[in-house]
Amino acid sequence: MSFDNLVNTMAEKWREVPGGSDQHPRQFSDELLQEADAELLRSWSKEFEAARPLRGWYWQLYGELLRGQRVVEIGSGLGFDAMHLASQGAIMTCCDIVPSNLEVIQRVARHRGLKIETLHIDGLAAFDRLPQDFDAVWAIGSIHHMPFDEAREESHAILRRLKPGGRWIELTYPHERWVREGSPPFGVWGQVTDGDRTPWAEWYDVEKLKERLRPWRLETIMERRFESDAYVWMDSRVLGRGDDTPIKRRRVQAPPGLLSAPGPMWNYAWRTPLGPSPASATVTVEIECVVERGSVGFVMLHPSKDRFISREIIVEARTGNQRIHLATDAYEVDARLLTRCATALGTCEYRISSIEVREAL
């Protein structure tokens, strides 16, 4: 299904907008519009203050950073972020698939003495009405509610309006939360995360975001999980448009069964050859694993030169599958994946379910 065919279904759900926190009830923006100005401002301001404990850290961080910058927000909801950023000097354009959400923003902004432009997203062509000079895209809790292919369509339409070197800032749900909540189909997970009538919710990390935005290339500035892995914050710089050929990738056979990494700390445990590169010397190795006991280090090794060619990632025991990425620009045909004990507290036990070598995104 294309973005244009899906947008009306999504709009029916997202006129039901979140309150200021996860504990506050959701509201229908078309019902809020029936209130007199004084009542609308009172209820909006109450939710805005309730949002501060969750959002305050990034309001403080980006308030100064985006001052004087042209920011396009995708999925503005009731405009809590837009109103704060505009009050700090950002030049805001709020885009939403629900007209009544935008009407609430316009009324509140007018009474708070703020100028905020709005754009109703009724299809991909709507983005053609935006200027081609935005400094940043602000997508907080929105695009991950669209299936990957349709989200890719929308993202590409937005990217065409972003300045070279602009920022892409997105908040979404991480892989860890999806696993913790049972790894349900995304069409079901939306109801788990955001209640009845939610058509979709999909997890992201920086690597998956890079794949969605490709062929535009990203430089990661920050990837931060918070609220006990309920959310992941991703801030990237868009470097420009690159090659649109299919991603070159190759599977490596994962070891069967339970692996053991006995102590002492840093004791080598298991290794496997990764084989020839599917692309060049710049590759990413994606690993899915479950660490059942202890902590395990994963790193790429160049055995003939006896040196590591990637940063080591330590994975600690926790419930469910974990997904990690090892990156290098010094890959050679005899590269190995090496695991080792990373705790002083005894033997580690873990399983590796998949290993994939692919070109870096």
Question: What pLDDT, in 10s, does the model give residues 12-45?
Answer: 999 998 776 666 678 899 999 999 999 999 999 9
- Please state the rounded mean pLDDT for residues 59-84: 97
pTM: 0.93
Q: Where residue 264 falls among pLDDT bands split at 50, 70, 90? A: confident
pLDDT at residue 265, as a whole number:
85
Q: In terms of domains, do 71 and 163 share one?
A: yes
- Is 53 in contact with 226 (CB distance < 8 Å)? no
pLDDT at residue 222, as a whole number:
97
pLDDT at residue 44, as a whole number:
94
pLDDT at residue 12, as a whole number:
92
pLDDT at residue 1, as a whole number:
76
- Please state the rounded mean pLDDT for residues 76-93: 97
Which of helix, strand or coil describes residue 215? Answer: coil
Domain that holds residue 324: 249-359
Q: In terms of domains, do 206 and 262 share one?
A: no
Q: In terms of domains, do 104 and 235 share one?
A: yes
pLDDT at residue 25, as a whole number:
74
- DSSP letter at 132 equals S
Q: In terms of domains, do 154 and 255 share one?
A: no
- Residue environment code for 172-207, b if the CB has 16+ CB neighbours within 10 A, otherwise e: bbbbbbbbeeeeeebeebbeebbeeebbbbbbbbbb
pLDDT in tens, 137-191: 999 999 999 999 999 999 999 999 999 999 999 999 999 999 999 999 999 999 9
Q: Looking at 225, 241, 257, which one is the last position of a domain?
A: 241
Q: In terms of domains, do 294 and 198 share one?
A: no
Residues in contact with 296: Cβ distance below 8 Å, sequence separation at least 6, in sequence order: 261, 269, 289, 314, 315, 339, 340, 341, 342, 348, 350
- CB-CB neighbours of 12 under 10 Å: 12
Strands of the 70-74 sheet, one edge to the other:
117-120, 91-96, 70-74, 134-140, 162-172, 231-241, 216-226
Q: Looking at 241, 271, 292, which one is the last position of a domain?
A: 241
Q: Where residue 218 falls among pLDDT bands split at 50, 70, 90? A: very high
| CA dist., res. 323 & res. 213, Å (int) | 20
More confident residue, 2 or 21: 2
Q: In terms of domains, do 231 and 261 share one?
A: no
Q: Chain-wide mean pLDDT for the chain?
A: 94
- Is 265 in contact with 346 (CB distance < 8 Å)? no
- Please state the rounded mean pLDDT for residues 282-296: 96
pLDDT at residue 170, as a whole number:
98
Sign of CA dihedral 43, 49, 50, 55: positive
pLDDT at residue 22, as a whole number:
66
The percentage of the chain sitting over the pLDDT mark of 70, rounded to a whole number, equals 99
- Please state the rounded mean pLDDT for residues 113-141: 96
CATH number at residue 345: 2.60.120.260
- Please state the rounded mean pLDDT for residues 77-81: 96
Q: In terms of domains, do 144 and 285 share one?
A: no
pLDDT in tens, 290-330: 999 999 999 999 988 889 999 999 999 988 899 999 999 99
Alpha helices in 214-261 (DSSP H): none
Q: Looking at 196, 221, 241, which one is the last position of a domain?
A: 241
Structural domain tally of the chain? 2
> Per DSSP, which regions of 178-321 are E strands?
216-226, 231-241, 249-252, 259-261, 268-273, 283-293, 295-302, 307-308, 313-316
More confident residue, 111 or 23: 111
- Please state the rounded mean pLDDT for residues 331-339: 94
- Residue reference for tokens 């899906």: 6
